Amino acid sequence: MISKIMDILGRSQKILRGTVISKTHTKTAMIEVVKVFFDRSKYASVTKQKTKYMIHDPSDECIVGDYVNFTPCKPVSKRKSHVLVKIAKRPQTTEFILKNPQYTVTAKEIKEQKEKDKIKYTFISDLQ
């Protein structure tokens, strides 16, 4: 009875929340979920436990840094058994880059800038 009510309300599956840390393959994202525990031992302390999940992103819309919600599902592949529900929050810098693509910087441009910024030393003997 209770399970039917939960199915009707849409709360039958556990919703996990985490941050996208890697997006190397198409339709796949690596998510890191951080759980915080309060240790009630002699010296009270707060501990963090990090867990990584590979999720299936059917529309391939999440980007590194996004805060996403995802749920368990039947296995899609060997390591993927979760599916993306929605993107909860996106960093402001990512939003700005998506709205203004002219500000994106390529790896080649970064390398050229580093070469340009290097200090070039000359020996005193070469000056004479």
- Domains along the chain with CATH numbers: 2-38+45-127 (2.40.50.140)
Distance, in Å, from the CA atom of 77 to the CA atom of 56, rounded to the nearest integer, reads 9
47-69 b/e with 16+ CB inside 10 Å = b? Answer: eeeeeebbbbbeeeebeeebebe
For residue 2, pLDDT over 60 is answered with no
Q: Model-level pTM greater than 0.85?
A: no
- List of residues 6+ apart from 25 with CB closer than 8 A: none
Closest by CA to 77, choosing from 34, 26, 32, is: 26
pLDDT class of 5 with cuts at 50, 70, 90? low
pLDDT tens for each residue of 14-71: 899 999 999 988 999 999 999 998 888 778 888 899 999 999 999 999 999 999 999 9
Section 99-124 average pLDDT = 83
